[in-house]
């Protein structure tokens, strides 16, 4: 009789995982949510924050505001202007004061208006960078969020594993194909799906940036994106194998929560680590070499032009080596726990050689 | 031939299987009988490699069963389970392909089996939408779709109504007739009695009886006969050496000296029937366990 080879079995498992996941509503909701979130992060600030501040102007003060980026409303008297400020219809009022002018505001100095009225001194940056700190924080947030979304998305692997254990189809599967093919197929299937989503995002991202008027940022982000994608994929494989083990250790969906915590920590920890410490170059440098945080930290450093290509390659090498080690460990734990039903399987028992 | 030799297995200190040996012959339906907890499922799981044995071997055509030849087996586990949200036809086809069957054959086999099992109308439904009885039929299809060389079925008839039992039986008989050894466990002795060729009875982890149905019956038949004559059969008790077990007008069941009884009966008149009493599986089962 014909026999499915290891790679055929792996592919069949991967194919089924993909079809199943794509057939669920949750997958599409999650994906659309990610796209919407990215648009919101990049586009909304310019839509809502881009308007010129509105000011009321009285008499001779109108000369001062000419040619400034202010939305001017001329009124007849100081009293009238003050009323508009109190009614919160304008941000501030600019009124004559002796020979000069005075700004009226409600309860705090209107910085955006004042900035327009004073002449700023020339600034020379000694260590200039094409990337502003604002752009950097946007990149940290976007890279971090994408990593978080896909990392958490890997939970589908845990769920699919538990489904197989809970329904006991696992007995048929295990008597048919090697357990490693099951594990490999799951990771492969979900990795391909994630890669597909990343590609769609990479195609959508430039549109979002153009809409936001950040077209020039694109040129800066593109190379970092080139690094981000392989880091993201390796990071995903790393997390995936952990999700698979989390699923194999329990026998019912209801018990999944007890093993998912640690994996969630492995996804969220690095996310928050990078969000909190990206402005600390020393911590960021360390994080860019630690496998779990490298996926976000290294692309951010590359984006900020703080890291050389060799550092990225080294970090990726460390990550790849970790992936191999974790895959081997996960495969043993997965094999050791897949057929154990009942209570949650202890890690030591999953690791022990089969009886 | 599937050969099980000296299989043992313990869970902790509890010895569940103790030197279990039996054969499953090609083209024969072998019934695997035993009380709850006697070790039927454990034995089957070991044959399928789902559980490791603590000793002994399982071989198929002289080769030890392992990852290389196990995909040729068809398995229906005791605890049923397929993917609840997957469509019936997709699921069966996928399982066939996982066993190494090419796409075309997988589709053809699936459609034929669903037809045989009267499930064609439900082929496009998700498994969870089917009744439990129909899910059970799908499970049978899952065990058969890759045209296995050996069939190991754990309680294939439990949960089926009498009509479904017939349907499934037809499908299984077809396989056995094609030369496939079929091992199936059951606690419904009447069904086993009717359809199995060979019987293996396991009790407390040991094989208590093993052989073809006829052999077993003959072996456990003892020296018991039933005679029905014209008039009252009360005289049988006077034949020397005979023990009467039942006496009911013209009918008597007795042990020993059959020829003398028959001769005496013919001397007295007509004999309506004279048969050795063959024990039912139920009786054999109760006797050996």
Q: How far is B124 from chain A (nearest CA, A)?
A: 15
What mean pLDDT is reported for chain A? Answer: 82
Q: What is the DSSP letter of A254?
A: G
CA distance A355 to B9: 10
CB contact under 8 A, A172 and B85: no
Nearest of A281, A344, A292, A288 to residue A322 by alpha carbon? A292
Contacts of B186 (CB under 8 A, 6+ apart): B31, B32, B33, B155, B156, B157, B158, B192
Domain identity same for A105 and A242: no
The pLDDT, as a whole number, for residue A227 is 82
Residue B217 lies in a domain: no
Optimal mutation site among A176, A339, A349, interface B, most CBs of chain B within 10 A: A176
CA distance A81 to A79: 5
Domain identity same for A178 and A277: yes
Whether the CB-CB separation of B289 and B34 falls below 8 Å is answered with yes
Which residue range forms the structural domain that includes residue B256? 222-288
Domain identity same for B143 and B253: no
Which residue did the predictor score with more confidence, B108 or A329?
B108
Which residue range forms the structural domain that includes residue A110? 54-117
Whether the CB-CB separation of B264 and B245 falls below 8 Å is answered with no
- Sheet of A71-75, strand order: A71-75, A54-58, A92-97, A100-104
CB contact under 8 A, A339 and B79: no
Q: What is the CATH number of the domain that holds B167?
A: 3.40.50.300
Domain identity same for B124 and B188: yes
Enter the pTM of the model: 0.78
Residue B15 bridge partners (DSSP): B10
What's the domain count of chain A? Answer: 2
CA distances from A299 to A76, A129, B175 (A): 56, 16, 60
Domain identity same for B65 and B88: yes
Q: What is the DSSP letter of A100?
A: E
Return the residue of B nearest to A174 by Cα.
B50
CB contact under 8 A, B52 and A175: no
Q: Is A159 within 8 Å of chain B by CB?
A: no
What mean pLDDT is reported for chain B? Answer: 88
Task: Write out the two tokens for B50.
Answer: 């789902």
CA distance B66 to A175: 9
End-to-end CA, chain A: 30
Domain identity same for A162 and A21: yes
Residues of B within 8 A of A173 (CB-CB) are 98
Domain identity same for A141 and A234: yes
Domain identity same for A135 and A99: no
* A5-9, A149-153, A208-212, B102-106: segment of lowest average pLDDT: A208-212
Q: What is the CATH number of the domain that holds B253?
A: 3.30.70.250
Q: pLDDT tens digits for B118-155?
A: 999 999 999 999 998 899 899 999 999 999 999 999 98
What's the domain count of chain B? Answer: 2
* A49-63, A240-254, A302-316, B238-252: segment of lowest average pLDDT: A49-63
Domain identity same for A186 and A243: yes
Domain identity same for A155 and A300: yes
Q: pLDDT tens digits for A163-185?
A: 888 888 888 898 888 888 999 99
Contacts of B219 (CB under 8 A, 6+ apart): B211
Task: Write out the two tokens for B157.
Answer: 């008839």
Residue B183 bridge partners (DSSP): B30, B152
């Amino acid at each position: 009789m014909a026999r499915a080879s290891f790679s055929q079995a792996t592919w069949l498992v991967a194919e089924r995982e993909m079809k199943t996941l794509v057939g669920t509503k949750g997958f599409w909701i999650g994906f659309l949510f990610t796209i919407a979130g990215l648009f919101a992060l990049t586009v909304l600030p310019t839509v809502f924050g881009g308007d010129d501040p509105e000011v009321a102007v009285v008499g001779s003060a109108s000369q001062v505001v000419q040619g400034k980026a202010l939305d001017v409303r001329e009124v007849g008297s100081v009293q009238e202007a003050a009323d508009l400020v109190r009614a919160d219809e304008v941000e501030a009022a600019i009124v004559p004061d002796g020979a000069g002018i005075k700004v009226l505001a409600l309860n705090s100095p209107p910085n955006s208006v004042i900035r327009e009225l004073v002449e700023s001194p020339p600034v020379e940056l000694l260590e200039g960078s094409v990337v502003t700190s604002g752009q950097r924080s946007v990149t940290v947030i976007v890279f971090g969020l994408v990593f978080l979304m896909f990392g958490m998305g890997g939970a589908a692997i845990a769920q699919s594993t538990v489904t197989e254990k809970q329904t006991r189809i696992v007995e048929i599967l295990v008597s048919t194909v090697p357990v490693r093919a099951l594990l490999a197929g799951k990771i492969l299937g979900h990795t391909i799906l994630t890669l597909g989503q990343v590609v769609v995002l990479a195609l959508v991202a430039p549109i979002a940036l153009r809409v936001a008027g950040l077209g020039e940022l694109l040129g800066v982000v593109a190379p970092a994106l080139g690094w981000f994608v392989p880091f993201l994929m390796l990071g995903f494989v790393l997390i995936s194998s952990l999700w698979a083990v989390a699923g194999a250790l329990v026998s019912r969906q209801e018990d999944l929560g007890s093993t998912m915590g640690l994996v969630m920590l492995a996804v969220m920890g690095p996310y928050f680590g990078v969000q909190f410490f990206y402005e600390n170059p020393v911590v960021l440098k360390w994080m860019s070499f630690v496998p779990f945080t490298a996926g976000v930290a290294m692309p951010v450093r590359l984006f900020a032009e703080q890291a050389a290509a060799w550092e990225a390659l080294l970090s990726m090498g460390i990550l790849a080596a970790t992936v191999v080690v974790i895959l081997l460990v996960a495969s043993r734990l997965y094999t050791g726990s897949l057929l154990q039903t009942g209570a949650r399987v202890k890690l030591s028992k999953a690791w022990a050689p089969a009886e | 031939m599937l050969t099980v030799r000296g299989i043992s297995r313990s869970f902790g200190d509890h010895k569940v299987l103790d030197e279990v040996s039996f054969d499953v012959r090609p083209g024969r339906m072998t019934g695997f009988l035993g009380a709850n907890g006697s070790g039927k499922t454990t034995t089957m799981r070991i044959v399928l490699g789902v559980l490791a044995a603590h000793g002994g071997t399982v071989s198929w055509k002289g080769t030890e069963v392992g990852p290389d030849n196990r995909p040729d087996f068809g398995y229906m586990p005791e605890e049923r389970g397929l993917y609840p949200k997957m469509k019936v036809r997709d699921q069966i086809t996928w399982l066939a392909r996982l066993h190494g069957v090419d796409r075309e054959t997988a589709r053809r086999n699936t459609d034929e089996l669903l037809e045989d099992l009267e499930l064609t109308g439900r082929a496009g439904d998700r498994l969870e939408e089917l009744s439990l009885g129909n899910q059970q039929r799908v499970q049978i299809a899952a065990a058969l779709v890759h045209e296995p060389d050996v069939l190991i079925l754990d309680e294939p008839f439990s949960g089926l109504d009498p009509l479904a039992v017939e349907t499934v039986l037809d499908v299984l008989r077809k396989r056995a007739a094609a030369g496939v050894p079929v091992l199936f466990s059951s606690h419904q002795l009447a069904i086993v009695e009717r359809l199995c060729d060979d019987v293996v009875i396991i009790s407390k982890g040991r094989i208590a009886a093993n052989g073809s149905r006829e052999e077993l019956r003959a072996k456990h038949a003892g020296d018991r006969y039933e005679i029905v004559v014209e008039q009252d059969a009360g005289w049988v008790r006077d034949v020397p050496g005979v023990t009467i077990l039942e006496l009911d007008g013209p009918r008597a069941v007795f042990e020993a000296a059959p020829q003398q009884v028959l001769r005496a009966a013919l001397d007295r008149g007509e004999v309506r029937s004279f048969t050795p009493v063959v024990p039912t599986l139920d009786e054999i089962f109760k006797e050996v366990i």
